[in-house]
């Protein structure tokens, strides 16, 4: 996998994708979006990877938004292609079978916030800033921001952020439910990896089932969601990990989960 705009590493079941255009504050261009989609496919195909972390290179930015130099050259059809390409990658990110953590280490603006919104949860450094400032360019968010933000923080808060284009601090983002944890900048990756390691030790089938049921369940009524949960529970019971987990409990030892999504 040849990557020019991303860094990729994997160790102990945890993969890390780092946005790596520090001179442009890791801004999203067409090439980077294509590489992101390619990298996500590679992660999905690797049964050994149990958790994915996304972060940005440098000390200033996670992703500072779309590359305005490229965006300014777009006509309407090219703009539609660019938005669709971004949504394709971000939709793929949200539908990953494994947990995905955004480690936001600076500016997460526009597409950066939209990427964070598609992750399962967000840890942020205390200097991180979030926002959807497309309105200041005469545009609207194009990578799913109008949809995901309102679902996560509520429609009125989403309208205020999108209509004004304002940036909010990591602490304010935590208060409205956009961020799970705020850390000192120097501690961010250690905290993220601590949580990732804890999740990587869990059963992969159960993690996938929990993620799928939560994500699908919020779109339906409670009774339908609970029926989905029953089916997910039954599927988990058929897995190697469920056998290991229950046996380990009865034997009073720590479970060692080795099951894959194929069994």
Distance CA 52, CA 57 (A): 16
For the chain, the farthest-separated pair of C-alpha atoms sits apart, in whole angstroms, at 65
Best CA proximity match to 261, nearest among 243, 240, 244, 245: 240
Instruction: Report the catalytic residues.
Output: 114, 134
Distance CA 83, CA 226 (A): 35
Number of other residues whose CB lies within 10 A of the CB of residue 223: 8
**Exposed/middle/buried for residue 225 (C-beta within 10 Å: 0-12, 13-18, 19+):** middle
Distance CA 256, CA 263 (A): 15
Please tell me what DSSP assigns to residue 95. T
């Amino acid at each position: 996998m040849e990557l020019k705009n991303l860094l990729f590493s994997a160790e102990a079941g945890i993969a890390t994708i780092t946005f790596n255009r520090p001179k442009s504050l890791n801004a999203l261009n067409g090439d980077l979006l294509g590489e992101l989609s390619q990298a996500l496919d590679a992660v999905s195909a690797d049964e050994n990877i149990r958790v994915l972390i996304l972060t940005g290179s440098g000390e200033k930015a996670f992703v500072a938004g779309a590359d305005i130099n490229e965006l300014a050259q777009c006509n309407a059809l090219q703009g539609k292609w660019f938005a669709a390409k971004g949504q394709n990658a971000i939709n793929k990110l949200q539908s990953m079978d494994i947990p995905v953590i955004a480690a936001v280490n600076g500016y997460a603006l526009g597409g950066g916030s939209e990427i964070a919104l598609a992750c399962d949860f967000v840890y942020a450094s205390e200097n991180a800033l979030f926002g959807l400032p497309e309105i200041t360019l005469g545009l609207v968010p194009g990578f799913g921001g109008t949809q995901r933000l309102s679902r996560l923080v509520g429609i009125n808060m989403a309208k205020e952020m999108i209509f004004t284009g304002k940036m909010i601090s990591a602490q304010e983002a935590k208060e409205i439910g956009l961020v799970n944890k705020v850390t000192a900048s120097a501690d961010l990756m250690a905290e993220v990896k601590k949580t990732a390691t804890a999740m990587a030790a869990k059963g992969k089938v159960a993690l996938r089932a929990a993620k799928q049921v939560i994500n699908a369940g919020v779109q339906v009524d409670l009774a339908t969601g609970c029926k989905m949960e029953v089916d997910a529970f039954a599927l988990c019971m058929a897995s190697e990990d469920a056998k290991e987990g229950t046996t380990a409990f009865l034997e009073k030892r720590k479970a060692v989960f080795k099951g894959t999504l194929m069994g």
